[in-house]
Amino acid sequence: MDSNISFQSKLLNTPISIFTIMSGLANEHKAINLSQGFPNFETSRKLMDLVTENMILGNNQYAAMQGNLDLRLQIAKKIKLIYQKDIDPISEITITAGATQALFTAISAFVENGDEVIVIEPAYDSYIPAIKLCGGVPVIYELEYPDYSIDWEKLATLFSAKTKMIIINTPNNPAGKIFKKSDLISLQSILENKNVILLSDEVYEHLIYDGESHESVLKYPSLYQKSIAVYSFGKTFHNTGWKIGYVVGPDYLMQEFRKVHQFNVFSVNTPIQAALATFMNDPNEFMGLQNFYQAKRDYFLEQTKSSRLEPIPCEGTYFQLFSYKNVSNNSDLDFAKYLTTDIGVASIPISAFYTSKRDDHVLRFCFAKTEETLEKAGALLNKL
Ligand code: PMP
């Protein structure tokens, strides 16, 4: 038998993701799984029927590389309605196989060997591997417990002649922190006259609470001119398994994005795109989400009120952070494992979202769940 070939791993020191570990442990111990970020309730029946209808109608072959035009028109309409921004659906929007693919494609389209990319942590776990696979060098800015806000002067010192891109994420997974207008204005002045692309992960654009509104890069013309903004239908329409999203950016950046996109996925699921185009005709399908998820956040907080866990304010996303500093001194990974195996609720330790594995004794719980699940989880957490 031939011996194994030898190769240099392109992603050295990349362990199995924490999501796989915690979900595995949750299944093994029949714990309530609040670790991974997905709803445990159904997507709209109307939307499912539209997908079926489109399949039966014969919408089953390759879609256009840029995405279904009707869907891009609906997205442009939505952007006008929410952000008062005119976007050309032909040249400034591309439909992707979810936000992760969009992020990967955007990074591969622009980041070259030796380029630096500024990443704000705690961060979604796909950014850094994607940067490294392109030969880029992540430059990390750490947000700090308990406020998780940005000191823009400090962040500005991270830019160098090699900086090619900065990635932002508002609302932030996992911190639940949102950028305010002043943050966008600071960012705008830092990026002024810099040759740096802004990759803006806005997948939780609709999940924002307490009367605040989402500060999209689309609202700031000079930022938009250097941005690719990323969105996910999975988060908005409760169907993370469908893996459809889109990117918005100025024509000259979108042309480069599409050069990579066409050789990466080429095009995206045809019947679902067609169904989404019809479904989005009714803005109520996405405008009601703030109240829907704010009620879930508040319900979860109410259910955990008598626990010794300390909630950290959640301004957006469907994640609630808790500090367990009043309960244990163990590492967040050990404590998250103990909560799963002995108490019966799975969460994610926040150290997993930091390259430095910074451990502030904080856990992330997903509240995109039915009231019944949140009530059961609350009863278990109250035993702590
Ligand atoms: N960005 C962030 C911040 C996320 O939390 C997620 C999903 N957890 C994604 C991107 C990926 O979205 P999608 O499932 O559409 O790939």
Tell me the sheet residues that pair with 229. Answer: 200, 248
Helix axes 270-279, 69-83, angle to 10 degrees: 40
Q: Which atom of ligand 1 is nearest to the CA of 98?
A: 15
CA 362 to ligand 1 center in whole angstroms: 21
Angstrom distances, CA of residue 315 to CA of 79, 110, 172, 176, 239: 22, 31, 9, 5, 22
Nearest CA to ligand 1 atom 12: 99
CATH number of the domain at 45-281, out of 3.40.800.20, 3.40.50.80, 3.40.50.300, 3.40.640.10?
3.40.640.10
Each domain of the chain, given as residue ranges in start order, spans 18-37+287-381, 45-281
Determine the distance separating the centroid of ligand 1 and the alpha carbon of 240, expressed in angstroms.
Answer: 9
pLDDT of residue 12: 84
pLDDT of residue 133: 96
> What's the fold here for domain 18-37+287-381?
Aspartate Aminotransferase, domain 1 (3.90.1150)
pLDDT (tens place) for every residue of the chain, 384 residues total = 788 999 999 988 887 889 999 999 999 999 999 999 999 999 999 999 999 999 999 999 999 999 999 999 999 999 999 999 999 999 999 999 999 999 999 999 999 999 999 999 999 999 999 999 999 999 999 999 999 999 999 999 999 999 999 999 999 999 999 999 999 999 999 999 999 999 999 999 999 999 999 999 999 999 999 999 999 999 999 999 999 999 999 999 999 999 999 999 999 999 999 999 999 999 999 999 999 999 999 999 999 999 999 999 999 999 999 999 999 999 999 999 999 999 999 999 999 999 999 999 999 999 999 999 999 999 999 998
Return d(Cα 123, Cα 145) in angstroms, integer.
Answer: 14
Q: Report residue 262 as tokens.
A: 């066409």
Q: How far out from the chain centre does Cα 131 lie? A: 16
Amino acid 64 reads A
Q: Which residues pair with 325 in a beta bridge?
A: none
Q: pTM higher than 0.75 for the full model?
A: yes
Question: Ligand 1 test: best mutation among 173, 199, 264, 314, most atoms within 8 Å of CB?
Answer: 173
Distance in Å from the first CA to the final CA of the chain: 55
What is the rounded CA–CA span in Å between residue 182 and residue 317?
20
- For the record, the structure tokens of 8 come out as 């240099």
- Ligand 1 atom, smallest distance to 244 CA: 15
Residues 249, 89: Cα–Cα separation, whole Å: 10
Which residue ranges have their beta carbon within 6 Å of ligand 1? 37, 98-100, 124, 169, 173, 201, 203, 232, 234, 240, 245
CA of 377 relative to ligand 1 center, distance in Å: 24
175 alpha carbon to ligand 1 midpoint, in Å?
14
Task: Look up residue 258 and give its amino acid.
Answer: R
Give me ligand 1 centre to Cα 239, in Å: 12
CA of 99 to the centre of ligand 1 (A): 5
